[in-house]
Amino acid sequence: MRPVFGGIDFGTSNSTVGVMDGNRPRLVPLEDASITLPSAVFFNFEDDSIQMGRKAVLEYTEGVEGRLMRALKSVLGSSLVHEKTRIKRRSIAFTDIIGLFIQRLKTKLEADAGSTVDTVVMGRPVRFVDEDDAADAAAQAELEKAARAQGFANIAFQFEPIAAALDYEQGVSREELALIVDMGGGTSDFSVVRVSPERARAVERKDDILANRGIHIGGTDFDRLLSIAHVMPELGYLTPTKDGKRNVPAGYFIDLATWHRINLLYTAKVMSDLRQVRYEAARPDLIDRMIAIVERRYGHALATIVERAKIALTDAEAASIDVGIHGATFSAPLDRKGLEETLVDAVERVTETVGQTIRDARLDPSDITAVFLTGGSTAIPLARRSILSLVPEAKVVEGDMFGSVGLGLALDARRKFG
């Protein structure tokens, strides 16, 4: 049987699977004809089914009773990694939910290949956890364990931006020093790589990888920052208590604004805490909105509305965040300027990381001949402007926004296992 060279890009927001088709990589259809699968799992409490991807989001949006999980990859680098979450009467480890999702990706790869597949290269961000090597290694180990539990026997890891570089390299006609920029949902990852048609054939590429760096800031963080700045105040965040001595507790609002923490609010304990908060609040009318959103399990829908406004502002100058459920009806205006003011510090930290990556490579910015952009968050004009200003002379190459990493992982699988 011919070996199958496959790669899995388990993304914070979207996942892809690449496979070698002769000499070329291609992406495997994961949900009907779509080559991306939104990294979402929905536990349907009505018929006890488990849905993934767009179907998961759809059932949740249609109001089916159940539990939606998003940004599961963010859990790998957080304190939640060893925790369980309640699904009806059962407790399930977050890593087992990640396992279910990987199983779906594996099944699709096997259906495409027409055989079982036990070998894979998995993508990983340069950093799962910033500035903590032990926690970072633990995050990769958890991901590996989850993949092994699904029947992958041979698992290798590759940095996501290196995979993107391998994809880019297929199209270059001469040697280049490329800066690879992959800004996704959870992390922003950078590599400086020497690419060329001749080097592409070499198995060992250590010498061509001049630097790798990553930072745990991505699109889901932008959603959180926008929500905290523009939506949470509408729910009572930062309002004082009646006695004027302090503000209402912030933690509930931060959790509601953070994709992978939303489900933590859906407990009887939090509901009763919020009623107490309302009792003590100077603006109970606003806390009522918070209560309505938590009670109706509207957290992911709210995060989606914020994300949509962010994406709209990539092309438009103005948008608005409109919420209209029973008990919480309001509209928060948001324009490009407001978005940029909210995101500027985070984008600056990302840009500093890019600068550091170029310095790690011991290069002058003018040595970089090409910048390869991939990942959904590279669409944000502020991020693009800020990063490209570091390398004004380089040629800008638009990668496949959602597919480059998956394609490169398949190329890497042939390199590693071929």
Ligand X SMILES: Nc1ncnc2c1ncn2[C@@H]1O[C@H](COP(=O)(O)OP(=O)(O)OP(=O)(O)O)[C@@H](O)[C@H]1O
Write out the residues near ligand X by the rule CB under 6 A: 11-14, 73, 160, 184-187, 218-220, 307, 310-311, 314, 375-377, 379-380, 402
Q: Which does 73 bind (CB under 5 to 8 A by kind): ligand X, Mg ion, none?
A: ligand X
Residues 6+ apart with CB under 8 A from 217: 187, 188, 346, 349, 350
307 binding partner (options Mg ion, ligand X, none; Cβ < 5 to 8 Å by kind): ligand X
- Choose among ligand X, Mg ion, none what residue 142 binds, the Cβ cut-off being 5 to 8 Å by kind: none
Task: Provide the 10 A C-beta neighbour count for residue 380.
Answer: 21
Q: Which does 136 bind (CB under 5 to 8 A by kind): ligand X, Mg ion, none?
A: none
Which residue is associated with the tokens 């992958």?
Answer: 152
Residues numbered 154-193 forming contacts with Mg ion, rule: CB under 5 A: 184
Residue number with CB closer to ligand X (218 or 236):
218
* Cβ proximity to Mg ion, 99 vs 399, nearer residue: 399
Count of residues that bind Mg ion according to CB under 5 A = 2
Interaction mask 5-34, Mg ion, x per CB under 5 A: ------x-----------------------
**Closer residue to ligand X (CB): 211 or 217:** 217
> In whole angstroms, what is the distance from residue 124 CA to residue 147 CA?
13
Q: What are phi and psi of 335, to 5 degrees?
A: -115, 175
Helix 336-360, helix 299-315: angle, nearest 10: 80
CA neighbor of 408 nearest in space, from 118, 239, 171, 107: 171
Q: How many residues does the chain have?
A: 418
Residue 298 interacting partner from Mg ion, ligand X, none (CB closer than 5 to 8 Å by kind): none
Nearer to ligand X (CB atom), residue 215 or residue 248:
215
> Residue number with the shortest CB distance to ligand X?
219
DSSP string covering 56-107: HHHHHHTT-SEEEEE-HHHHHTSGGGG-EEEETTEEEEHHHHHHHHHHHHHH
Least separation in angstroms between CB 96 and Mg ion: 22
CB of 411 to ligand X, least distance (A): 17
Least Å distance between CB 125 and ligand X?
A: 6
Pick 381 or 418: Cβ nearer ligand X: 381
Nearer to ligand X, 18 or 218 (CB): 218
Tokens 């963080």 belong to: 221
Distance CA 367, CA 132 (A): 31
- Phi and psi at 313, nearest 5°, equal -75, -5
183: left (phi over 0), alpha (psi -120 to 50) or beta: beta
As measured in angstroms, the least distance from the Cβ of 272 to ligand X is 33
> Closest separation between CB of residue 227 and ligand X, Å?
12
**Residue 74 touches which member of Mg ion, ligand X, none, C-beta under 5-8 Å by kind:** none
First to last CA, the chain: 13
Closest approach of Cβ 110 to Mg ion, in Å? 23
Shortest reach from residue 362's CB to ligand X, in Å? 27
d(CA 347, CA 343): 6
Min. distance of Cβ 377 from ligand X in angstroms? Answer: 5
Query: For ligand X, which is the closer residue by CB, 216 or 278?
Result: 216
Tell me the C-alpha to C-alpha distance, in Å, between residue 32 and each of 44, 259, 405, 415: 20, 26, 21, 29
In the complex with ligand X, the residue whose CB is nearer, 6 or 406, is: 406
3-state helix, strand, coil in the chain (%, to 5): 45, 25, 30
Q: Residues in the site for Mg ion, rule: CB under 5 A?
A: 11, 184
